[in-house]
Homo-oligomer: A and B are copies of this chain.
């Protein structure tokens, strides 16, 4: 097998650069981690702290502090769960949703550019490949599942 690791390293690094560059909206500057937190809160349904921390593989104490700053920045809201009062349900404020949307737009714009260089068939192939990769990485017990970190 040719140098797969190298190919993947380059790819993930590039996406990493993209991610980092997409974290400033207006006068709000987010760290990479913070933008990922917003993204996940937006995506998941009434997530608890644990859930988001786990999907992102962030230690819960670090996460707790990150959420505190996001709350202070008025991007995230914490609501005690009625089912279990230990649990905090996370949600985005209006401003948080706005920021998340802006970031998402910028990311998509970039992705559209990149995919725009490809033919329709290539595009389909690439998407199929990514799905395949994701599915097969999920099979591995070794690591990489957000669960079992």
Contact = CB atoms under 8 A, between A and B. Distances in A.
Interface of A: 1-2, 4-22, 36, 39, 43, 56-57, 104, 107-108, 110-115, 117-118, 122, 125-134, 136-140, 142-146, 149
B4 A115 contact: yes
Given A21-B144, A126-B129, 12 more contacts: A7-B127, A7-B130, A8-B130, A9-B39, A12-B12, A14-B137, A17-B57, A17-B144, A17-B145, A18-B143, A22-B143, A129-B129
A59 to B, nearest CB: 11
B143 A114 contact: no
A133 to B, nearest CB: 6
Contact of A20 (B39, B57, B118): B57
A4 B132 contact: no
A142 B113 contact: yes
B14 A107 contact: no
The oligomer's copy count stands at 2
22 contacts: A1-B115, A4-B111, A4-B127, A7-B130, A7-B134, A10-B134, A11-B137, A12-B15, A12-B19, A13-B56, A13-B57, A17-B57, A17-B143, A18-B144, A20-B57, A110-B140, A110-B142, A110-B143, A114-B136, A117-B136, A118-B132, A126-B133
A68 to B, nearest CB: 23
